[in-house]
């Protein structure tokens, strides 16, 4: 049976029915498409995850807002020299780190800290290695305005966006007509950053007994060692308890006192937020200042390199008075094998999180400003 030509079938009642059905199916598909897949993770986290901390209800997942957030995240025009975007320091293939010990911002300036992975941010109670920032939306203001990073005052960023017809159109489509303001800008960015979830590593599939979720004998031994020796801090399947700890990097902390920078408490000197270890095989170099190039270096630190100070975490003082974590060479290798199972290619390769390439090409010369 040959399909009727459009001309004939719309004239028939059956044709109209068919059309109506198509429209219905189509709009259902659109509705589904408007709610990004990543949002599902926030709304109904996988079995091995707790409920997110981020109040999703205050920034309802929305595909157009997510796309807007992605455009902002990858837009270097928000930096003072037009060269640095969030994506410069947070690159997808590296779990949104940058491979540098200390992040590089406008004019080659160095940040005081290492770019951390951006993943599962909706589960964070505080942000930054010292926990100084209290919310995901607020967090974006730090790199935007920092002289070492993007070096653009918020008011200037808003003026740039408001002077750009494409941004005006896209913001209006999501938030309604009017000027692009602080909440709109920060919420749009957070639509993107909160969607950067990592929940599907081989380890996750293993603990959830999903197909493909097999660990080798070495990896399982590594997991058991990790449980015994690391999970006191890198706890739960988020691989952090979100506390601030001194893991024995130095004996004194004159350059970066970590948590004490915020609390001013001497008892917090040298304590840094316990980072997640998801995708850790991709996030070298390591620690708040990027001092370790490789994971074997990190394990060697815990095994032989832990240095004493008043705030050194008690978990790193062994009963016999020795510092660090007792780990043989073999055990270190097994832990390394386990850590590799935390790599989540979905986060690292999902094209939804990649730069919106086409758009960058059509507008290569930067934002048109109203005045010059």
Partner 1 sequence: MKNRTLSALFLLAAPLALFSGCKKDSDTPEATSTGSVNFTVQNVVPNTNVVGVQPPTPLVLNSSVATTSTGETFTVSTFEYYLSNIKFTKSDGTTYAAPDTYFLVDQATAKTLSFTVPNVPTGDYTGVSFIVGVDAQRTGLTNPLDFTGKLEALNQAYNMYWTWNSGHIFLKMEGTLTSTNPTKPLTCHIGGWGNNSTPNAIVTATPAFGSNKLTVRTDKAPTIALQANVAKLFDGPNPVTLSTFMGAHMPSAQSVQIAQNYAAGMFSVTQINTN
Residue numbers at the binding site for partner 1 (CB under 8 A):
58, 80, 128, 132-135, 137-138, 141-142, 144-146, 153-156, 158-160, 181-183, 186-187, 261-265, 369, 371-372
| CA dihedral sign, ordered 202, 204, 207, 212 | negative
Only segment of 24-32, 43-51, 158-166, 294-302 that touches ligand HEC (CB under 6 A): 294-302
CB atoms within 10 A of CB 270: 27
With CB under 6 A as the contact rule, the residue among 174, 230, 260, 342 that binds ligand HEC is 230
Per CB under 6 A, 219 contacts ligand HEC? no
Only segment of 28-36, 44-52, 144-152, 205-213 that touches ligand HEC (CB under 6 A): 144-152
In the bound complex, what is the minimum distance in angstroms from residue 181's beta carbon to partner 1? 7
In the bound complex, what is the minimum distance in angstroms from residue 177's beta carbon to ligand HEC? 25
In the bound complex, what is the minimum distance in angstroms from residue 127's beta carbon to partner 1? 9
Are the CB atoms for 52 and 123 separated by under 8 Å? yes
- Residue that is written with structure tokens 């808003």 in the block: 158
Residue 200, beta-bridge partner list: none
Only segment of 28-36, 97-105, 164-172, 178-186 that touches ligand HEC (CB under 6 A): 97-105
d(CA 354, CA 74): 9
d(CA 322, CA 308): 10
d(CA 192, CA 75): 13
Which of residues 186 and 215 has its CB atom nearest to partner 1 in the complex?
Answer: 186
Residue 272, beta-bridge partner list: 245
Per CB under 6 A, 161 contacts ligand HEC? no
- Residue 285, preceding bond cis, omega within 30 degrees? yes
CB atoms within 10 A of CB 249: 21
CA angle 286, 282, 149 (to 5 degrees): 60
User: Which tokens in the block code for residue 120?
Assistant: 């599962």
- Contact partner, 245, from partner 1, ligand HEC, none, Cβ < 5-8 Å per class: ligand HEC
Residues present in the chain in total: 372
- Contact partner, 352, from partner 1, ligand HEC, none, Cβ < 5-8 Å per class: none
Please, which of residues 235-254 interact with ligand HEC by CB under 6 A? 245, 247, 249
d(CA 65, CA 173): 9
To the nearest 10°, report the CA torsion of 67, 73, 74, 76.
130
Q: How many residues bind ligand HEC (CB under 6 A)?
A: 54
Applying CB under 6 A, the residues found at the interface with ligand HEC are 73, 84, 86, 88-90, 103-105, 111, 113-116, 118, 121, 124, 127-129, 139-140, 143-144, 149-150, 189, 193, 229-230, 232-234, 245, 247, 249, 272, 274-275, 277, 280, 283, 286-288, 295, 298-299, 302, 313, 315-316, 325, 335
């Amino acid at each position: 049976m040959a399909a009727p030509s459009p001309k004939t079938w719309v004239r028939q009642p059956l044709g109209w029915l068919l059309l109506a059905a198509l429209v219905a199916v189509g709009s259902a598909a659109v509705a589904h498409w408007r709610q990004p897949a990543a949002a599902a993770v926030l709304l109904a986290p996988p079995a091995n995850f707790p409920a997110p901390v981020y109040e999703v209800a205050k920034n309802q997942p929305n595909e157009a807002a997510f796309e807007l957030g992605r455009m902002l995240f990858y837009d270097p025009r928000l930096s003072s020299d037009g060269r640095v975007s969030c994506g410069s320091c947070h690159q997808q293939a590296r779990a949104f780190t940058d491979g540098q010990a200390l992040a590089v911002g406008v004019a080659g300036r160095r940040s005081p800290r290492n770019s951390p992975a951006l993943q599962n941010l909706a589960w964070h109670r505080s942000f930054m290695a010292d926990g100084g920032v209290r919310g995901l939306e607020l967090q974006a203001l730090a790199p935007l305005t920092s002289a070492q990073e993007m070096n653009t005052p918020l008011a200037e960023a808003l003026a740039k966006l408001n002077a750009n017809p494409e941004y005006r159109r896209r913001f209006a489509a999501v938030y309604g007509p009017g000027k692009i303001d602080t909440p709109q800008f920060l919420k749009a960015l957070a639509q993107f950053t909160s969607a950067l979830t990592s929940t599907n590593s081989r380890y996750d599939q293993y603990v959830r007994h999903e197909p493909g979720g097999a660990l080798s004998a070495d990896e399982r031994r590594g997991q058991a060692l990790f449980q015994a020796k690391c999970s006191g801090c890198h706890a739960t399947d988020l691989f952090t308890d979100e506390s601030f700890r001194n893991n024995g990097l130095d004996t004194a902390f004159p350059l970066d006192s970590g948590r004490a920078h915020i609390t001013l408490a001497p008892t917090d000197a040298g304590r840094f937020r316990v980072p997640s270890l998801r995708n850790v095989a991709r996030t070298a170099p390591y620690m708040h200042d990027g001092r370790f190039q490789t994971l074997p270096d990190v394990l060697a630190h815990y095994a032989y390199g832990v240095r004493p100070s008043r705030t050194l975490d008690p978990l790193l003082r062994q009963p016999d008075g020795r510092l660090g974590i007792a780990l043989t060479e073999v055990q270190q290798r097994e832990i390394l094998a386990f850590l590799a199972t935390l790599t989540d290619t979905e986060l690292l390769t999902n094209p939804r999180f990649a730069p919106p390439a086409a758009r960058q090409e059509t507008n290569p010369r930067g934002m048109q400003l109203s005045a010059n």
